[in-house]
Amino acid sequence: MNRIWDELVAYRRAHEDQPILALFDKGDRVERFGTKAGGLWLDWSKTAIDDKALELLLQLADKGGVAERREAMFAGAHINETEDRAVLHTALRNLNDAVVVDGVDVMPGVRAVHAAMSDFARKVRDGRFKGQGGAITDVVNIGIGGSDLGPKMATLALAPWHDGPRVHFVSNVDGADIADTLAPLDPATTLVIVASKTFTTIETMTNAETARRWMERAIGAAAPGQFAAVSTALDKTSAFGIDADRVFGFADWVGGRYSVWGPIGLSLMIAIGPDRFDEFLAGGAAMDAHFRATPLDQNLPVMLALVGIWHHQICGYATRAVLPYDNRLSRLPAYLQQLEMESNGKSVAMDGTPLERVSGPVVWGEPGTNGQHAFYQLIHQGTAVIPAEFMVAARGHEPDLAHQHMLLVANCLAQSEALMRGRDLEQARALMAAKGLTGAELDRQARHRVFPGNRPSTTLLFDQLTPRMLGQIIALYEHRVFVEGVILGINSFDQWGVELGKELALKVEPLLKGQDTGGHDPSTVHLAEMVWEMRGAD
């Protein structure tokens, strides 16, 4: 492996000045440096990857054991070694095949929970399940991290199919979140879903208690009847007072950030209905089948991962912008931040030794075209190179507004072209001359209008954002993260780094009440004292 890494780095260094545009001189680049699967087309031709770089990247995937590890994951092996768990979110979206974990077929259990949540979702949607005030008008999902980002992102994305009750999401421990969410709602027609894999997360449990008090004030002892729970910790859900018939469980081999496909997706299922939810699952399953059976060089998640490795580990670009040209994918960057940064933001390899390469990049982004009028300036003319990941659907959902959709697509394609082409000094000078400038002023103004170009991007193009397509896209990104993790030798399925914040918050809380329990640095003690003073007597 080290030889391949070294060769890649040396090759990149030797070809750093090669313009991406020149790579198109070989006529068939567009076909060969693109990958398709299930109605998705990933164009990665606007990157500096050429034949030699591709050959070396594919060797990384091959020698890095991607194919073996992939099979181990699907087969239910304990590939999450630090938690000694299988990794089987894929089992939630392929309800037909048997999946054996530790000698037991887990699928009868998965199917039973899927049937129960579908049944419950139908009853909520058609009014057979009622609140004290009648049919449910509003659903509040209380969860955080993976128990929030997935269903929230997908509910927004699939708004054209949202024909169930209104769905709201509360995640932040900041009381403003739940206060603003509950304020306009009628507790007598609201269903609260407490979504937490562990059922111990402080934000979620605090908000759940707040919601329970809010509902009790309105409907008294009937309040628990309007709560449902989604968790792996069934003992804790019953201690909270939620009836077993409204508790939907899942196993520890579903990671939080991979959990939207199962009961954590209940709020989404209520919004769009079980049939559309099953189409979402079918999309994920189709991407699984592609990922599992397709040779590495034509494999969509593998190629997306290799482009990612090329940009971050080989070229050294620190961040990656995810730029969906789809307003309904506005929460996708946040969703991918958890998926990618919590999975591959690690410093040690699976065996505990320090990583030999940098781990995952910072992932960030906003939908286009909004970002164009904000941060694209830096992507075009800043000194840091930021690989951009564009995505866009050929068709929108508003037939009357097809002309707006065409404008959206045109902007997306234009941005990737402009990033690659840039504008050199001669062109900038010609522009200024056409405006009538001359001499030193022409020179000065022209320099500000130069775009370096040669900035890499990928474009993920698909027909339309349907439930099935969203399922394919999310599974594509999950497997991309997996492949990158395998090549880097990372365990992508634990998240020990999150634990520290949880522990420290508990230790700092007493400081805010004026009790110094010791062990804090002077800055933290001082800030806490100031909070204590500013709060006054309340």
Q: How far apart are CA 237 and CA 194, in angstroms?
A: 9
Nearest residue to 480 (alpha-carbon basis) of 317, 265, 326, 322: 322
The two tokens of residue 479 are: 């497997």
Query: Rule CB under 6 A: is residue 412 a binding residue for ligand G6P?
Result: no
Smallest distance, ligand G6P to C-beta of residue 340, A: 13
Q: Which stretch binds ligand G6P (CB under 6 A): 98-106, 145-153, 360-368, 522-530?
A: 145-153
Smallest distance, ligand G6P to C-beta of residue 317, A: 26
Q: Which stretch binds ligand G6P (CB under 6 A): 118-126, 143-151, 165-173, 425-433?
A: 143-151
The two tokens of residue 325 are: 């040209």
- Report the residue number, 54 or 194, with the smaller CB distance to ligand G6P: 194
- Report the residue number, 338 or 472, with the smaller CB distance to ligand G6P: 338
Smallest distance, ligand G6P to C-beta of residue 175, A: 18
- Report the residue number, 204 or 466, with the smaller CB distance to ligand G6P: 204
Give the side-chain half-sphere CA count within 13 A for 160.
13
Smallest distance, ligand G6P to C-beta of residue 143, A: 6
Smallest distance, ligand G6P to C-beta of residue 287, A: 22
Smallest distance, ligand G6P to C-beta of residue 292, A: 25
The DSSP output letter for 339 is I
- Report the residue number, 439 or 501, with the smaller CB distance to ligand G6P: 501
Is residue 502 part of the annotated active site? The answer reads yes
Over the window 191 to 230, marking each residue x when it contacts ligand G6P by CB under 6 A and - when it does not, the resulting string is -----xxx--x--x--------------------------
Q: What is the DSSP string of 11-67?
A: HHHHTTT--GGGGGGSTTHHHHTEEEETTEEEE-TTSS--HHHHHHHHHHHHHTTHH
Instruction: Indicate which residue of 15, 52, 63, 502 is catalytic.
Output: 502
Q: Which of residues 467-496 bind ligand G6P (CB under 6 A)?
A: 495
Strand 457-462 relative to strand 362-364, pairing: unpaired
Q: How far apart are CA 75 and CA 77, in angstroms?
A: 6
Smallest distance, ligand G6P to C-beta of residue 44, A: 29
Burial grade of 116 (CB within 10 A; 0-12, 13-18, 19 or more): middle
The two tokens of residue 14 are: 């030797």
Is residue 342 part of the annotated active site? The answer reads yes
Q: What is the DSSP string of 128-189?
A: SSEETTEE--EEEEE--GGGTHHHHHHHHHTGGG--SSEEEEE--SSHHHHHHHHTT--GGG
End-to-end CA distance of the chain, in Å? Answer: 61
- Report the residue number, 201 or 457, with the smaller CB distance to ligand G6P: 201
The two tokens of residue 454 are: 């040669």
Instruction: Indicate which residue of 31, 373, 403, 533 is catalytic.
Output: 373
Q: Give the residue, chosen from 257, 312, 320, 328, that forms a contact with ligand G6P under the rule CB under 6 A.
A: 257
- Report the residue number, 171 or 181, with the smaller CB distance to ligand G6P: 171
Nearest residue to 47 (alpha-carbon basis) of 25, 60, 61, 29: 29
Smallest distance, ligand G6P to C-beta of residue 78, A: 19
Count, residues near ligand G6P per rule CB under 6 A: 14
The DSSP output letter for 349 is -
Q: Which of residues 291-350 bind ligand G6P (CB under 6 A)?
A: 342
Query: Rule CB under 6 A: is residue 147 a binding residue for ligand G6P?
Result: yes
- The Cα-based distances of 429 to 378, 379, 382, 452 in angstroms read 22, 22, 20, 14
Q: How far apart are CA 198 and CA 188, in angstroms?
A: 28
Smallest distance, ligand G6P to C-beta of residue 229, A: 11
- Report the residue number, 145 or 361, with the smaller CB distance to ligand G6P: 145
Q: Give the residue, chosen from 64, 131, 145, 371, that forms a contact with ligand G6P under the rule CB under 6 A.
A: 145
51-63 and 300-309 helices cross at what angle (nearest 10)? 110
Smallest distance, ligand G6P to C-beta of residue 90, A: 18
- Report the residue number, 144 or 321, with the smaller CB distance to ligand G6P: 144
Query: Rule CB under 6 A: is residue 530 a binding residue for ligand G6P?
Result: no
Radius of gyration of the chain (CA): 25
| Inter-residue contact 286 to 468 (CB < 8 Å) | yes
Q: Give the residue, chosen from 57, 106, 113, 144, that forms a contact with ligand G6P under the rule CB under 6 A.
A: 144
| Inter-residue contact 177 to 287 (CB < 8 Å) | no
- Report the residue number, 177 or 278, with the smaller CB distance to ligand G6P: 177
* Secondary structure (3-state) at 102: coil
Is residue 123 part of the annotated active site? The answer reads no
- Report the residue number, 145 or 187, with the smaller CB distance to ligand G6P: 145
Q: How far apart are CA 97 and CA 264, in angstroms?
A: 22
Instruction: Indicate which residue of 203, 342, 389, 478 is catalytic.
Output: 342
Q: Give the residue, chosen from 131, 225, 256, 367, that forms a contact with ligand G6P under the rule CB under 6 A.
A: 256
Task: Tell me the catalytic residues.
Answer: 342, 373, 502
Residue ranges that bind ligand G6P, judged by CB under 6 A:
144-147, 196-198, 201, 204, 256-257, 342, 495, 498
